[in-house]
A and B are shown apart, each in its own frame.
Chain A
Amino acid sequence: MTSVISVSNLGKRYGRTVAVDDVSLEVFEGEIFGLIGPNGAGKTTTMECIEGNRVPDKGTISVLGLDPRRDANALRQRIGVQHQEAQLQKRIKVWEAVDLWQSLYPRVVDSDTLLARLGLEAKRDAWFMTLSGGQKQRLFIALALIHEPEVVFLDELTTGLDPQARRAIWALVTGIRERGTTVFLTTHLMEEAERLCDRVAIIEHGRIIELGTPDDLVQKHCPERSVVFTSDDANVAERLQALGTVERAEGGATYTIRGAGDDFVTDVINIIAREGIRVRGFRTEIPTLEDVFLKLTGHGIRD
């Protein structure tokens, strides 16, 4: 795998506040890499140092083999960025923004095709201020992609969007990767990270505390699995006890069986089948990145 971004021992402080303490990470070609953590953890500062929009106090950064500060101009031609909560001129039209951006790069994609791909073709003549939150973000994605960059940086892309708009944006980001572009994103939404990212780094207080694929992180830190089902048969609890702890909802027919490991759910299903237990409802509870985060930091991401 080719390394596209390489960061080692990055540090940045504002006055006496340490924004980034010590961050090292590597991003590979063609992946979606997510930097996840609560607000103020150092996500944006890290990203902006990598983009070359902020000067780090210490550490080394290489993006596409370039130094983001020294080779800033060369790098700007090859990366696309979307800033957190960015705006454009209130009364700029969508096509005017696209047109300006197009004029700044030597090689650009066709604007009509791009706007159509992002579902903005009907908004060509609309003022920026009249766009919905989701449309604004799609426009920013368009502007970030206009010069076919090799790496795209997306900072808190879906913050403040409703669930439907969020899903539409997720589909677009997945589409970016399918075209071979590397994506570096930050988010404080664990669901977003789980859906989109090939690998994630969890950052807190300016340090990366864990890094890996979402599956691996869940596997490693939260191996617990639960199966919840409903059955009117007798002696259900006794027959499943060998697998783990069994809880029966008071006076009801709902059972929760807790265990661990990849095989746990299969084991439960096998026993239910072998014993011929009649089940009315059945669901599994598998931990998510949110649980991993809680476990590693001792607090929820929105605290």
Chain B
Amino acid sequence: MKPPFLRGFWKLTWLETKIFTREPMGFVGTLVAPLILFIVLGRAFGVSRPLAAPNVDIPFNPAILAAVLIAISAVQSLVAIISIYREGGILKRLRSTPLSPVTIMGAQVAVKLVFTVISLSLLMLAGRRLFPGVMRVNVFSFTAAVLLSTFSILSLGFVIASLVPTARFAQPISAAVLYPMLFLSGLFFPMDHLPRALEGLAYLFPTTHAVALLDGVWNGSGWGAHWVNVAALLVLFAAYTALSTKVFRWE
């Protein structure tokens, strides 16, 4: 017998994937926007730090920004979809079928991860053509790091989705939570430039660890060197998931 989780899982995931591609705005936001940002900023700042930005005080790397934005746009899209589905009673309708709640949510996460990979692939392809420095990056390692980051940030998405009162608030509320996190993530200025309290707070956000891990992998250091960030992403994932099972509203 199939585990209950798998009943309808692939079908729902495939269906949600098709539905997502029929929504022009979501499609553009997920696939095109991070790519354009990467190309424009990459032209301005360069993407390979040793060549383009020798000053180590400026950790900014458009590739990392684009990768984190891919994760964040996946989360925003998830929050929007969940709040629309909740408001329209779609979640409620799906729940009164034999689909398990984990399957209903798991399919959404799977779709987001699929598009994260596609989006990231476009980014790497563009990077290889436009910025020679990208050649040195381990694509698989970097993709795995982005997926882990997305996964962890998505679990925060479920907590945000629980706080969103109606679909209209999905975009502003998720932006209000995610952008400050991105700002404090160490991407725009080093962590030790932050006030002590704020620095401590920043380490509670998955984005901070995502940036550290991505930056490390981009620059060639192995996962072992960043095990703290990997562990933090996993712990935060577990914590946010546990919290969201408590506070999540289906209707």
Q: Which residues of A come within 8 Å of B, CB atoms?
A: 51, 53, 73, 76-77, 81, 83-89, 91-92, 96, 99-101, 103-105, 127
Whether the Cβ atoms of B15 and A51 lie closer than 8 Å is no
Whether the Cβ atoms of B19 and A76 lie closer than 8 Å is no
Query: How far is B101's CA from A76's CA once the two chains are assembled, in angstroms?
Result: 14
Chain A CB within 8 A of B96 CB: yes
Besides the known contacts A88-B93, A100-B15, 18 further A-B residue pairs in the complex with CB atoms under 8 A apart: A76-B98, A77-B98, A83-B93, A84-B89, A85-B89, A87-B90, A87-B93, A88-B88, A89-B16, A89-B19, A89-B85, A92-B15, A96-B15, A96-B18, A99-B11, A101-B97, A104-B7, A104-B98
Which 9 pairs show the lowest CB-CB distances between chains A and B?
Answer: A87-B88, A91-B22, A86-B89, A104-B98, A86-B93, A91-B19, A81-B96, A103-B11, A104-B8
Whether the Cβ atoms of B11 and A86 lie closer than 8 Å is no
Q: Name which residue of chain B comes closest to A91, CB basis.
A: B22
Q: Which residues of B contact A51 (CB under 8 A)?
A: 96
Q: Which residues of A contact B95 (CB under 8 A)?
A: 53
Q: Which residues of A contact B96 (CB under 8 A)?
A: 51, 53, 76, 81, 83
Chain A CB within 8 A of B191 CB: no
Whether the Cβ atoms of A86 and B92 lie closer than 8 Å is yes
Whether the Cβ atoms of A53 and B92 lie closer than 8 Å is yes
How near does chain A come to B77, taking the closest CB pair, in angstroms?
A: 14
Chain A CB within 8 A of B234 CB: no
Q: Which residues of A contact B8 (CB under 8 A)?
A: 100, 103-104
Which of A87, A99, A104 is B99 in contact with, Cβ under 8 Å? Answer: A104
How near does chain A come to B149, taking the closest CB pair, in angstroms?
A: 27
Within 73-120 of B, Cβ neighbours of A (below 8 Å) are at 85, 88-90, 92-93, 95-99
Within 157-188 of B, Cβ neighbours of A (below 8 Å) are at none
Q: Which residues of B contact A101 (CB under 8 A)?
A: 97
How many B residues have CB within 8 A of the partner chain? Answer: 21
Can you report 25 residue pairs joining A to B where beta carbons are below 8 Å apart?
A53-B96, A76-B97, A83-B93, A83-B96, A85-B89, A86-B92, A86-B93, A87-B89, A87-B90, A87-B93, A88-B88, A88-B90, A89-B16, A91-B19, A91-B23, A96-B18, A99-B11, A100-B8, A100-B12, A100-B15, A101-B97, A103-B11, A104-B97, A104-B98, A104-B99
Query: How far is B31's CA from A7's CA once the two chains are assembled, in angstroms?
Result: 52
Q: Which residues of A contact B7 (CB under 8 A)?
A: 104
Q: Given that A85-B89, A87-B90 are contacting pairs, would A105 and B98 also be in contact in the complex, using a CB cutoff of 8 Å?
A: yes
Q: Which residues of B contact A83 (CB under 8 A)?
A: 89, 92-93, 96
Q: Which residues of B contact A103 (CB under 8 A)?
A: 8, 11
Q: Which residues of B come within 8 Å of A, CB atoms?
A: 7-8, 11-12, 15-16, 18-19, 22-23, 85, 88-90, 92-93, 95-99
Query: How far is B229's CA from A6's CA once the two chains are assembled, in angstroms?
Result: 56
Q: Name which residue of chain B comes closest to A52, CB basis.
A: B96
Which of A81, A85, A92, A100 is B11 in contact with, Cβ under 8 Å? Answer: A100
Q: Which residues of A contact B88 (CB under 8 A)?
A: 86-88
Q: Which residues of B contact A77 (CB under 8 A)?
A: 98
Q: Which residues of A contact B89 (CB under 8 A)?
A: 83-87
Q: Which residues of A contact B99 (CB under 8 A)?
A: 104
Query: How far is B11's CA from A96's CA once the two chains are assembled, in angstroms?
Result: 10
Q: Name which residue of chain A comes closest to B7, CB basis.
A: A104
Q: Which residues of B contact A127 (CB under 8 A)?
A: 22
Q: Name which residue of chain B comes closest to A81, CB basis.
A: B96
Query: How far is B22's CA from A257's CA once the two chains are assembled, in angstroms?
Result: 65
Query: How far is B15's CA from A96's CA once the two chains are assembled, in angstroms?
Result: 7
Q: Which residues of B contact A100 (CB under 8 A)?
A: 8, 11-12, 15
Query: How far is B18's CA from A99's CA once the two chains are assembled, in angstroms?
Result: 14
Q: Name which residue of chain B comes closest to A106, CB basis.
A: B98
Query: How far is B90's CA from A255's CA once the two chains are assembled, in angstroms?
Result: 55
How near does chain A come to B128, taking the closest CB pair, in angstroms?
A: 34
Whether the Cβ atoms of A89 and B90 lie closer than 8 Å is yes
Q: Name which residue of chain B comes closest to A96, CB basis.
A: B15
Q: Which residues of B contact A89 (CB under 8 A)?
A: 16, 19, 85, 90
Q: Name which residue of chain A comes closest to B93, CB basis.
A: A86
Q: Name which residue of chain B comes closest to A80, CB basis.
A: B96
Q: Name which residue of chain B comes closest to A146, CB basis.
A: B97
Whether the Cβ atoms of A86 and B12 lie closer than 8 Å is no
Q: Which residues of B contact A88 (CB under 8 A)?
A: 88, 90, 93
Query: How far is B95's CA from A53's CA once the two chains are assembled, in angstroms?
Result: 8
- Counting chain A CB atoms within 10 Å of each CB, the highest count among B19, B89, B96, B97 belongs to B96
Query: How far is B22's CA from A76's CA once the two chains are assembled, in angstroms?
Result: 31
Q: Name which residue of chain A comes closest to B250, CB basis.
A: A53
Q: Name which residue of chain B comes closest to A85, CB basis.
A: B89
Query: How far is B85's CA from A248's CA once the two chains are assembled, in angstroms?
Result: 60
- Counting chain B CB atoms within 10 Å of each CB, the highest count among A73, A77, A89, A100 belongs to A89
